[in-house]
Amino acid sequence: MNGFFKNIKEDRLIFRGFILTFAIVILSVLYIFLYYKKIPPFVPLFNQMPWGEERIATKIWIFSVPILSFIISVFNLGFSSLVYKKNPLIPRLLVVTSFLISILTLLFLVRTIQVAL
């Protein structure tokens, strides 16, 4: 398994980008834990749905946001290690994508929790 990520570890930009991405995902989870007891039982999580009950979810669903960000980042990390030898530009684009997704999910969580409180 260590040889699988050897190329990623050697490229400092990609390695630091993924470390920073996973740190932001952990920060998102910690932010949820910090305010979890203060969050009401229902939160407005699905903002693209029509107005009403379709937009709200129980507060346990707030954990789905960082979990989804984590899954996308792990997928991008695995795919980056597979294609690094053929084209080193693709893993760099994937690390930027993972970083942006983690930042946007953190901002979404902060805003959603602020609105719910």
Return the domain boundaries, the chain. Answer: 6-116
**pTM, to two decimals:** 0.87
Report which of 11, 5, 36, 14 is spatially closest to residue 94, judged by C-alpha positions: 14
Per-residue pLDDT of the chain (117 residues), as tens digits, is 566 677 788 888 888 999 999 999 999 999 999 999 999 998 888 777 777 777 788 889 999 999 999 999 999 998 998 998 898 899 999 999 999 999 999 999 999 888 878
Beta carbons of 94 and 76 less than 8 angstroms apart: yes
- pLDDT at position 94 is 94
Tell me the C-alpha distance between 7 and 103, whole Å. 25
In the numeric block, the tokens 């989870």 are attached to 29
Backbone angles phi, psi at 57, to 5 degrees: -140, 165
Residue 47: helix, strand or coil by DSSP? coil
Which amino acid is residue 55, in one-letter code?
R
Instruction: List Cβ neighbours of 28 (8 Å cut-off, separation of 6 or more).
Output: 65, 66, 69, 102, 105, 106, 109
Check residue 90 and give its pLDDT.
Answer: 92
